[in-house]
Amino acid sequence: MLFTSLEFLLFLPLALVVFALLPVGWRWVWLLLASYIFYGAWQPFNLVYLGAVTLVIVSCGRGLDRATNQRRRTALLTIGLLAVLGSLVAFKFYDFLAGELERWSAQLLASEPALALPRLGITTPVGYSFYAFAAAAYLVDLYAGRLAAKQDAGRTALYVAYFPKIFAGPIERATTFLPQIQAGLRANPVLFVLGLQLIGWGLFKKVVIADNLAPLVDRNFAIAAYAAPMELLISIYFFAFQIYCDFSGYTDIAIGVSLLFGIQLMENFRRPYLARSAAEFWAERWHISLARWFRDYLYIPLGGSRVGPLRRYANIMIVFVISGLWHAGLGYGVGWTFLVWGALNGAYLWISLATRPIWRSLGELLPRLSGSLPLLVLRVLLTFHLILIAWVFFRAKSVSDALLILQKIGARLSELPSLLAQYPFTAEHFFGFGLIGFLVVVEIFDERRSIFQRLAAAPVAARWVVYYLAIFSLLILGRWQGREFIYMQF
């Protein structure tokens, strides 16, 4: 059941009506049942995986509550994390690595595969990466005392299964989610209106922007060896905005739907392509819930920034390589491209940290220059294009395809002005550029003051003009063919 499907359009009002009719104390029970219906509608057997993860963390959580010595607590935490995260690793990578080992052994021995390894034949259940990480965070927070002991099993099950976030996040923390459930769920009129606005904006980003950019991107990345350099260059730009609008569109809808039930989920995107550095992009603007998960549950336990420079840089690279591997999934396959993508972004962070003193010194020497608009624009464009290069590895079918794409574009980069003048742009191209331009303008205005705050302050007539224009654009320009959200597959 996709957010963009007719089934969801029927499911959500029904869920809201039942929610409103129930006593406050029973509303969380209905949300749990609705979440299982929502997730089971995609593939009923996936409920087995969801139930198993829930059972593991509830059992380990109760064991942690009863354990009287530290060794037993540590053992329970380890068992729980191995079960949840170990299964994630096995589902994602075992069959791929088994195939790679067979191929390498055949190359070394110059013969047919010397190894014949068994296969699991299990596809990672949709959304598993997201609720597995949420479950792991629950156990760690319980172990560390950040979460109160004796958590209710039913509410914990709702935390794992909550339907707005189960497919693609945000990766909410139990420390912020469970207190809202325990306090009693009541709809808030102000949050309800904001929720509807977020749902509309998220749908626009998904079905109007992302899904209209997707066909050209898919077409050219599928024939990277034969596509013209200009087509590949346009496809890279289109993909950067496709994946952003697809993923942030899902998040906007998820947060908006959750607000309708009076539950606030964390912000996951903050105008990422306006970042001035790779560090700002990853730490403060892109997939914020995942970045904070890695910061709190991997980077800091590794020593974080409290260690020496070399160890700190190693910790950063470990986090980004693992983050790259986490992104491997059904959408663009499981391959080495994601490891390269993660390592490349880790290298960007190295450069960002290494040059931070230079920017600080420049600001002290030339305060007017450091705060000037031209320098800000230059830094934003430089950061965006560094991220753009990394996206090539994320989207390409293989590392060799990614390198070929970059090589073909790089070889003709000096001819770009003449190529642009001669290129036979189509209506598809101009429509895509127009959508991107519209999004960039909205994000620039949103950077200074939220578009929803601006909308709230506008006259009633102006607000309804915007609402009607949004509805018409969704109906006329949107692609409603049920195309999956990209990050559901990771």
pLDDT of residue 114 exceeding 70: no
- Asked if residue 372 is part of any domain, the answer here is yes
Last residue of a domain, one of 185, 202, 219: 185
Domain boundary among 115, 150, 185: 185
Co-location of 395 and 424 in the same domain: yes
Flag whether 220 is in a domain: yes
Tell me, yes or no, whether 151 and 217 share the same domain.
Answer: no
Q: Helices 373-395 & 336-365, crossing angle to 10 degrees?
A: 170
Cα separation of 84 and 51, whole Å? 12
Whether 267 and 359 share a structural domain = yes
Mean pLDDT of 83-89: 90
- Give the domain-ending residue among 185, 211, 243: 185
Dist CA 346 CA 279 (whole Å) = 9
State whether 250 and 139 are in the same domain: no
Q: Is the pLDDT of residue 148 over 90?
A: no
pLDDT of 28 over the 70 cut: yes
105 pLDDT above the threshold of 90: no
Task: Return the higher-pLDDT residue of 482 and 24.
Answer: 24
In this structure, what are the phi and psi dihedrals at residue 483, rounded to the nearest 5 degrees? -65, 130
Which of 287, 327, 385, 429 is the catalytic position? 327
Mean pLDDT of 419-424: 86
In a domain, 1, yes or no: no
Do 294 and 424 fall within a single domain? yes
Give which of 397, 485, 2, 467 is closest to 211, Cα–Cα.
Answer: 485
Q: Is the peptide bond before 170 cis (omega within 30 degrees of 0)?
A: yes
Cα 89–Cα 92–Cα 97 angle in degrees, nearest 5 = 90
368: pLDDT strictly greater than 80: no
- 177 and 199 share one domain: no
249 and 308 fall within a common domain? yes
Check residue 423 and give its pLDDT: 87
Same domain, 407 and 443: yes
Q: Given a cut of 70, is residue 110 above it in pLDDT?
A: no
What is the mean predicted confidence (pLDDT) over 357-369? 78
Do residue 200 and residue 159 come from a single domain? no
| pLDDT tens digits, one per residue of 38-59 | 999 988 999 999 999 999 999 9
- Comparing C-alpha atoms, which of 443, 482, 487 is closest to residue 329? 487
The burial of 295, by beta-carbon neighbours within 10 Å (0-12 exposed, 13-18 middle, 19 or more buried), is given as: middle
Cα separation, 351 vs 386, in Å, equals 11
Q: Is residue 99 part of a domain?
A: yes
Residue 219 has pLDDT above 70, yes or no: yes
Total domain count, the chain: 2
Residue 220's nearest CA partner among 239, 202, 240 is 239
The pLDDT of residue 333 = 61
Phi and psi torsions of 169, nearest 5°: 80, -170
Provide the pLDDT for residue 285: 95
The answer on pLDDT for 261 being more than 90 is yes
pLDDT tens digit string along 275-297? Answer: 999 999 999 999 999 999 999 99
Whether residue 257 sits in one domain with residue 172: no
pLDDT of 335 strictly over 60:
yes
Residue 226 CB: number of other CB atoms within 10 A? 8
Q: What is the mean pLDDT of residues 430-436?
A: 96
Average pLDDT of the chain?
Answer: 89
Same domain, 383 and 257: yes
Note the pLDDT of residue 248.
95
Same domain assignment for residues 203 and 271:
yes
Average pLDDT over residues 247-271: 95
Whether residue 169 is predicted with pLDDT greater than 90 in this model: the reply is no
Domain that holds residue 113: 6-185
- Of the given ranges (159-173, 183-197, 249-263, 347-361), which has the lowest mean pLDDT? 347-361
Average pLDDT of 105-125? 70
For residues 265 and 114, give the distance between their C-alpha atoms in angstroms, rounded to a whole number.
Answer: 50
pLDDT at 359 over 80: no
**Has 327 been annotated as catalytic?**
yes
Q: According to the model, what pLDDT value does residue 320 have?
A: 94
Indicate the burial class of 199 (C-beta count within 10 angstroms; 0-12, 13-18, 19 or more): buried
> Residue 99: which of 124, 121, 82 has the closest Cα?
121
Q: CA–CA distance from 270 to each of 113, 251, 444, 471 (Å)?
A: 48, 11, 11, 24
Residue-wise pLDDT tens digits, 7-25: 999 999 999 999 999 999 8
Does 308 reside within a domain?
yes
